Amino acid sequence: MSHIPVSVVVAAGGSPDDFHACLESLRPSLGMRDEVVCVLPAGRPELRAELRGQSWLRVLDDGPGDPGERWAMGLEATRHPIVVLLDGDVVLSAHWLDPVLEAFGDPAVVAAGPRCQHSYGPQQADLPDAALTSAAAFKAFARDWRQEHRDEFTDVDRLGPVCVAVRRDALAIAGGPTADLPYEGLAAQGRLVVAHAALVAHVGSPLCGLRSWESRDSRDDDTAPLLTASLIVKDEEDVLARSLDAVRDLVDEIVVYDTGSSDGTVEIARRHGARVVEGFWSDHFGDARNRCLEHCRGRWVLWVDADEVFTGDAAAVRDALRRTEGSACFATIDNREGHEGGAGSSTIYYPRMFRRARGRIYGRLHEQVVDRVTGRALGGSLLPELVLDHSGYTRLRALAKNKAQRNLRLARLAAEDVSGLTAVGNLARSQLGSGHIEECIETARRGLAEATEHTHHVLFLKILADAYLAVGRLAEAGETIEELRGIANTPFTVAEHEVKLRFAEGDYERALELIGELPESGANDLLYGVGKGRFAGIHVDALTRLDRHREAARELRSALRAGQVPIPVARMAQVLGAAGGSLAEVAELLPREGLRGLLFTVAEAPPEAADELLEALWRRYPGEPGILALAARVGRQVPLIRAMEWSARLRRHGFPARCTLLTLSADGRRTPRERTLAAAIALEMFHDEAALPLLHEALAAVPDAGSAAVLDEMRILAPQVSANIELADA
């Protein structure tokens, strides 16, 4: 197949052998009118030796610039409307260029690329080891690949940095070449396409030409801050301040990228010293985080969510960063999770801190830190002092952010963006979390059928087990758990599902035995933390079902002392009451650091139980803003006398707008009598004129038969207001 003339810009890199292999594979794929320039980086004389006698290309000497500057130099030296930007340690297959350029037959296409081993983004292709044993093996594999994927093109949201063809004029409009290439600007002008029939192999070695700029942000560069906290936010005014306060002593700068808040999020971020970038949301977490990353200056970046609070040792983390040679550090993330209305917990270990020059964020949903060139997950070691407390999975928080449906929508989009089992796994998890169980089972089965890696087998079996448990298909859950047992590397991977299965079967004794066999902490095959603490709620419930009430209360008290809230508030009242205790114990037993998680749980409790616990918490932590904020919400649901007490406290501490009497009087779910008396008391006690229209509205709703009784109560609770009403009626 002949193709339109093209300019090829090669960024020389890799070892001499890698570079030689690149040139040897490139030349046969060119047409007569194609032109090639090779940009040679400074300080690589061994690569210049490989260019001797290569009269078919032009050599340009480069300075110490980044890849974007190198591409720009090559563009200035070429002339064809379509330019291929090619890393110098890529091995090309026969005829790879033809399908890539074929895509440009559609004028709407502005950029296209081949499938590529070790490339960031949807171009990425995983090649079997057998295909990489020799040049001949790769050519044979690529020939079969080309036949299998002939005429297969996919629209994508971005391409990678290793090998891409682009329209010169579109690249200029997008702002010119950059280290990562301006794909958002290109996508605004037309289609980005992967030509699946084209296949290239990228070595991706440390000498790769796309890595040259990493030295600017090396460990020894003292001109840049050590550490930046990077956050993307939208309508996070309820949690952001605490998150920013927690990282203040850890980081040198905070960058907050706002995706369109309509509340006080931006103002809170600025008050806490953050540099705020007012951006936009494109249904893509990875893109938003990378846009934030562009404004970070630190040699290291800590990716934090607004509903996460750093609880580790700031000095120890900073000292470790100064000494480490790695590219990333794993954080311990303690997730507070909904447990039938309560807040259980789980732990995961995740690379949240990384060298800015080496990493970027990939994925529309459940994003991860990857090598900015190869797209492979950044490796590193666990930094025990780096601990984040995450409340985003509590049921109340998830409902407030509509996370389940949002994640399902993004997971579906992500599955369309890229092929691969990671996207399929994210889709299955999102279907499970949003209650689309049958869809989840179908997706997980498909993923299991396609899985070749151990982690994917484990992931899909675990999702299947949870899905079957969610709909009570216990026999199938048991079969799946046994299959998982056969491949798991650690018993923790299986035990967490078996505990839930035995509990669902009513075998409470066996569930307790399995919990007892768990360690205090450990990790399963997917690096999720597993231990006794995660099953504290089931432990308490199983003991209760066996009428072992004193043991259940003892287990609950132990969990509370450890900072856990394993069951809902109403259940805690029952468990403690059955053993002669009360909810007041919760306020005394739970350490202060557990207060935040408890308040999320209280918000979902029945009003009477919530009020009882809030009162106990108020006695222990008088003036605590979090308690007042929750009391303002709960207070409109409690008896009138309790609403009066919370109103007085809120006003005394500077929150008159949250007065529970006012909110109660405006709540159509309360009786006209209650609403009338609440407004009258607010007017009588606090002289708040905002209560006046609420009083008139509520009075009008009181039935004639009940008006005399309401007025009698008002004479006692709000005598001056009742006198004024009677005077007006006289």
Q: Which residues contact 199 (CB under 8 A, 6 or more apart)?
A: 93, 96, 114, 115, 116, 125, 141, 142, 145, 146
3-state SS assignment for residue 128? coil
Specify the amino acid at residue 427: L
Q: Kindly indicate the confidence band of residue 216, based on its pLDDT and cuts at 50, 70 and 90.
A: very low
Alpha helices in 635-729 (DSSP H): 640-652, 660-665, 672-686, 691-701, 704-717, 719-729
Percent of the chain at pLDDT > 90 equals 62
331-335, 372-376, 416-420, 444-448: the lowest-pLDDT one: 416-420
The helix-helix angle for 437-450 and 454-470 (nearest 10°) equals: 160
Q: Which residues contact 58 (CB under 8 A, 6 or more apart)?
A: 35, 36, 37, 38, 77
Which of 586, 526, 527 shows the shortest CA–CA distance to 556? 586
DSSP output for 357-411: TTEEEE-SSS-EEEETTT-PBPPEEEEEEEEEEEEEESHHHHHHHTHHHHHHHHH
Task: Give the separation between CA 618 and CA 631, rounded to whole angstroms.
Answer: 10
Determine the pLDDT at residue 396.
42
Determine the pLDDT at residue 586.
95
- Is the Cα dihedral 65, 66, 70, 73 positive or negative? negative
pLDDT, tens only, 257-305: 999 999 999 999 999 999 999 999 988 898 899 999 999 999 999 999 9
pLDDT, tens only, 676-717: 999 999 999 999 999 999 999 999 999 989 999 999 999 999
Q: Kindly indicate the confidence band of residue 335, based on its pLDDT and cuts at 50, 70 and 90.
A: confident
Q: Kindly indicate the confidence band of residue 44, based on its pLDDT and cuts at 50, 70 and 90.
A: confident
Contact assessment for residue 263 and residue 312, using Cβ atoms and an 8 Å cutoff: no
Length of the chain (residues): 730
Percent of the chain at pLDDT > 70 equals 93
Task: Give the separation between CA 488 and CA 322, rounded to whole angstroms.
Answer: 37
Side-chain-side CA neighbours of 82 within 13 Å: the count stands at: 22
Task: Give the separation between CA 103 and CA 383, rounded to whole angstroms.
Answer: 46
Contact assessment for residue 256 and residue 275, using Cβ atoms and an 8 Å cutoff: yes
Task: Give the separation between CA 26 and CA 30, rounded to whole angstroms.
Answer: 7
Determine the pLDDT at residue 343.
42
3-state SS assignment for residue 730? coil
Q: Is the pLDDT of residue 182 over 60?
A: yes
Q: Kindly indicate the confidence band of residue 395, based on its pLDDT and cuts at 50, 70 and 90.
A: very low
Q: How far apart are the first and last CA of the chain?
A: 100
Q: Kindly indicate the confidence band of residue 399, based on its pLDDT and cuts at 50, 70 and 90.
A: very low
Query: At residue 55, what are phi and psi to the nearest 5 degrees?
Result: -75, -10
Residue carrying the six token digits 């559609």:
106
Task: Give the separation between CA 384 and CA 407, rounded to whole angstroms.
Answer: 29
Residue carrying the six token digits 């009258």:
680
Tokens representing residue 574 in the block: 């029952």
13-27, 61-75, 584-598: the lowest-pLDDT one: 61-75
Q: Which residues contact 88 (CB under 8 A, 6 or more apart)?
A: 10, 11, 12, 13, 14, 18, 19, 22, 38, 47, 208, 209
pLDDT, tens only, 83-126: 999 999 899 999 999 999 999 999 999 999 999 988 877 888 88
- Residues in a beta bridge with 382: 330
pLDDT, tens only, 45-67: 899 999 988 999 999 997 666 78
Residue carrying the six token digits 């029952």:
574
Q: Kindly indicate the confidence band of residue 362, based on its pLDDT and cuts at 50, 70 and 90.
A: confident
Q: Is the pLDDT of residue 412 over 80?
A: no
pLDDT, tens only, 647-660: 999 999 998 988 99
Higher pLDDT, 82 or 395: 82
Determine the pLDDT at residue 213.
52
Helix (H) or strand (E) holding 428: helix 421-433
- Report the pLDDT averaged over residues 653-679: 93
Side-chain-side CA neighbours of 528 within 13 Å: the count stands at: 16
Residue carrying the six token digits 């009083």:
695
Task: Give the separation between CA 461 and CA 469, rounded to whole angstroms.
Answer: 12
Query: At residue 59, what are phi and psi to the nearest 5 degrees?
Result: -105, 130
What Å distances lie between residue 522 and 359, 383, 516, 594, CA to CA? 28, 15, 14, 22
Specify the amino acid at residue 285: F
608, burial (CB in 10 Å: exposed 0-12, middle 13-18, buried 19+) = middle
Task: Give the separation between CA 683 and CA 689, rounded to whole angstroms.
Answer: 7
Which of 46, 401, 69 shows the shortest CA–CA distance to 216? 69
- Residues in a beta bridge with 227: 300
Determine the pLDDT at residue 397.
42
Task: Give the separation between CA 63 and CA 86, rounded to whole angstroms.
Answer: 18
Tokens representing residue 519 in the block: 């360690």
Other Cβ atoms within 10 Å of 72 Cβ, number: 17
Determine the pLDDT at residue 558.
94
* β-strands 328-339, 380-393 pairing: parallel
Tokens representing residue 332 in the block: 């311990």
- Residues in a beta bridge with 195: 114, 153
Contact assessment for residue 349 and residue 331, using Cβ atoms and an 8 Å cutoff: yes
Task: Give the separation between CA 273 and CA 268, rounded to whole angstroms.
Answer: 9
Task: Give the separation between CA 243 and CA 546, rounded to whole angstroms.
Answer: 41
Determine the pLDDT at residue 220.
43
Domains, the chain, ranges and CATH? 7-212 (3.90.550.10), 218-386 (3.90.550.10), 403-620 (1.25.40.10), 622-730 (no CATH)
Q: Is the pLDDT of residue 190 over 90?
A: yes
Query: At residue 530, what are phi and psi to the nearest 5 degrees?
Result: -135, 135
Determine the pLDDT at residue 416.
66
Q: 148-154 long-range CB contacts below 8 Å, 24 or more apart?
A: 149/115, 149/196, 149/197, 150/99, 150/197, 151/197, 152/195, 152/196, 152/197, 153/99, 153/103, 153/193, 153/194, 153/195, 153/196, 154/122, 154/193, 154/194, 154/196
- Report the pLDDT averaged over residues 474-483: 97
5-14, 193-202, 527-536, 554-563: the lowest-pLDDT one: 527-536
